[in-house]
Amino acid sequence: MTGHAESRAAVEGVWRREAARVIARLSRLTRDVGLAEELAQDALVAALETWPQTGVPVNPGAWLVTTGKNRALDRLRKRKLVARKHEALGAEMMAPDPSPADEAMDDFIGDDLLRLVFQACHPVLSLDAQVALTLRMLGGLTTDEIASAFLAPSPTIAQRIVRAKRRLSEAQVAFELPRGEELWGRTQAVLRVIYLVFSEGYSASAGESLTRAELSGEAIRLGRLLAQLLPEPESIGLLALMLLQESRRETRTTAEGDLVLLDAQDRSQWNRALIAEGTKLVERALVSGRAGPYALQAAIAAVHA
C-alpha cells in the first residue's frame, strides 16, 4: 500500500469511528442535521487534504468538529445573517474544544449522539430513508458503500438521503430527545432499523451471497452505541440477540456458499466470546423485569448457544 493510500485509509478509519459524534456535535450547534452532515463532509475533505502532510491529529474528532465549525462560520458570513444571531451562534461555535479526557466526561456528547439517532429514525421518514440516513450519519458509510450493501444504484441511495434530510428540514424536526411515552415508541423505531440492517447482513434478501458481514457488523456497532447511550432492557436485548446470532456466522454456510441448518452446524466452531458477551447481556436485560421482544428472543437464542 502506498503512502497516499495508507493516509487515506487512516482518514477513512477515523471517519468511520468519529462521524456520528462529529455530526451530532455540529447538529447541536446548527440545529440542522442536513447542514451538519454537509459540514462534516467538508471537514472530511479537509482531513483528506491535510492529514497526509501533517499526520493524524492527537484528537481527530475534535479536529473535525473544529473544522466543521469554521465551515459553518464561513457560511454564516457569506449569507450575511443578522449580526446578533451571527455573534450568538459564532460565540458558541468559537468556544474552545474540551480536551480528550474532558470530552469523554461530557454528557452533552452522549445526549447529542442520542438526539442524532432519533433524528435519523424519525417517523416523518420512510423506513428505507431511516436505514439509509442511519448508515450515513451514524455509521459513517459512504453513499457507494450503502448502495453496494443493499445492491442498489448509488444515485438511488444518494437521492434517498437528500430527500430524507430535506424532509427533516421541511418538517422542522427539532434536534431534541423524545420524552415520556413518546420515547418508548421512538426507541422501538430505532431498534427496528438497527435489526433490519443486521438481518439484511445475516440473511441477505437479494444477491448471490447468503450473508453480508459488513452490514451485520455495522448493525452490531450501532447496537453497542445505542446500548451505551440508552441502557434499557430492549436496547441491551437487541445487542445480545445480534451477538448470539452473529456467533454462528462462520458455520451457517458451506465453502460453496450453501446454507447450513442449525442442527447441522458445527457448534465447536461457534464464536464463544460473542456467546459469552451475549449471554451476560441477556442476564442484564432479564434481571430488570422489563424484558421485551428483543430481550426474550435473545434469551431463547442463549439457551440454544
Least confident of 60-64, 110-114, 194-198: 110-114
pTM flag (> 0.85): no
User: Has residue 283 got a pLDDT over 60?
Assistant: yes
User: Has residue 258 got a pLDDT over 50?
Assistant: yes
Least confident of 52-56, 90-94, 178-182, 281-285: 90-94
Place of cell 464464536: 271
What is the arithmetic mean of pLDDT over 117-129? 93
Residues in Cβ contact with 268 at an 8 Å cutoff, skipping those fewer than 6 apart: none
